[in-house]
Amino acid sequence: MPKVASPIENLENYLRQNGVEAKIIRFERPTSTVEEAEKALGVSKEQIIKTILFTDEKGIPIATIVTGDQRVNEQKLAGVLRTNRIKIARPSAVRSITGFDAGGVPPVGHTQKNRITYLIDRKVMIFDKVYGGGGTNFTMLEISPKDIKRLMNAQIVDITE
Task: Provide the whole-model pTM.
Answer: 0.93
Residue 141: its H or E element: strand 139-143
User: What domains does the chain contain, in order, with CATH numbers?
Assistant: 7-157 (3.90.960.10)
Give the pLDDT confidence score for residue 1 in this predicted structure: 57
Provide the β-strand partners of residue 23: 142
For residue 80, the 8-state DSSP code is H
Query: What pLDDT shows up at residue 32?
Result: 87
- Which pLDDT value is given to residue 18? 95
In this prediction, the residues of the chain whose per-residue pLDDT falls under 50 are: none
Q: What is the pLDDT of residue 43?
A: 95
Strand boundaries in 6-138, DSSP class E = 23-26, 49-56, 61-67, 86-88, 117-121, 130-133
Q: What pLDDT score was predicted for residue 149?
A: 97
pLDDT of residue 6: 87
The reported pLDDT for the residue numbered 7 is 87
Contact call for residues 31 and 137 (beta carbons, < 8 A): yes
State CA 79 to chain mean position distance. 21
Whether the CB-CB separation of 14 and 36 falls below 8 Å is answered with no
- For 10-45, the pLDDT digits (tens) are 999 999 999 999 999 999 999 989 999 999 999 999
Amino acid, single-letter form, for residue 144: S
In angstroms, rounded to a whole number, what is the distance separating the alpha carbons of residues 64 and 89?
11
pLDDT of residue 92: 94
